[in-house]
Structure 1
Amino acid sequence: MAQITKVKSGSILEDRESYSRVVAVDNWIFMSLTAGRDYKTRKMPETAVGQAEQAFRNVEGALASVGATLGDVVRSRVFIPRQSDVVDVMGFIGERFRGIDPASCVTCSPLGGPEYLFEIEITAYRGAGEQEQKRLTISL
């Protein structure tokens, strides 16, 4: 039987909209779209990079709650509404994921409100970061 763990982060939206920040099914970890809001102070930085930095703190805390780390991330979906922010935000993300190299998707589309300048969705596999990895480079 699968071990299922559901984690709430303290975001008021999780209760209002009936969802979990993280659902872990055995070693698979699925994280909801995560914004750059500090869940304790309710404050959100005014820049896309600032929001990305806070979102990564939120992601790392959520992963830690189920015994995982950023190194266990196997897939990310990044949402940056303003194309003008993409280069700076992806530069930050490139540094955070350096050596982890998850599968990634970046989309420039509207988010839940104009104050949201960055959100990220994560899929992880607990322990993936500690496993031996085979890395290939292909040309198509």
Structure 2
Amino acid sequence: MTVRHISTGSPFEEKIGYSRAVVADGWVFVAGTTGYDYATMTMPEDVTDQCRNALATIGRALEEAGSGLDHVVRVTYILPDKADWLACWPVTSAAFALARPAATMIQAGLQEPEMKIEIEVTARVP
């Protein structure tokens, strides 16, 4: 089995000891991704902006793996405040309009208080 690790350069990846994505046997497993802009290490205040950033980071990792958002088969959304979830629907609906993956939303605390959403996906390499 060939395994490839993909990094975004996030300081969390090195400090915690994980990869943004792992490619193995035609699958891409993308770690829980929050809304940081990794170029500036800033976090928007708005949950929809965080959702957009997280999906953009995920999309870049998937592209580097030879996949893309259209090949996502499973997605998990984690939000500290379930009331924020409704505002994310237009963003997630647009991102996954073609893939329409199996999905779960979980309410749970996240690593930092400014984090309002974390998204994890599994995709196929076409």
Regarding TM over 0.5, the answer is yes
Cα distance, 1:13 vs. partner?
0.8
Look up the match of 2:35: 36
Relative to the length of structure 1, the TM-score reads 0.86
Further displaced range: 94-103 or 111-120: 94-103
RMSD across aligned positions (CA): 1.0
**What is the alpha-carbon distance in structure 1 between the residues aligned to residue 111 and residue 88 of structure 2?**
19
Gaps of 5+ in 1: 128-140
Determine helix, strand or coil for the equivalent of 2:112: coil
Kindly report which structure 2 residues correspond to 1:1-140, keeping only aligned pairs within 5 A, or say none: 2-127=1-126
**What is the alpha-carbon distance in structure 2 between the residues aligned to residue 72 and residue 96 of structure 1?**
11
Cα distance, 1:123 vs. partner?
0.4
Further displaced range: 9-18 or 78-87: 78-87
Relative to the length of structure 2, the TM-score reads 0.95
Percent same amino acid at aligned positions? 32
Counterpart amino acid of residue 48 in structure 1: V
Bigger radius of gyration among the two? 1
Q: Give a deviation string over 1:45-102, Cα, whole Å, max 9, x none.
A: 1011000000011001100111111111000000121122111112321221113110
Aligned residues: 126
Determine helix, strand or coil for the equivalent of 1:30: strand
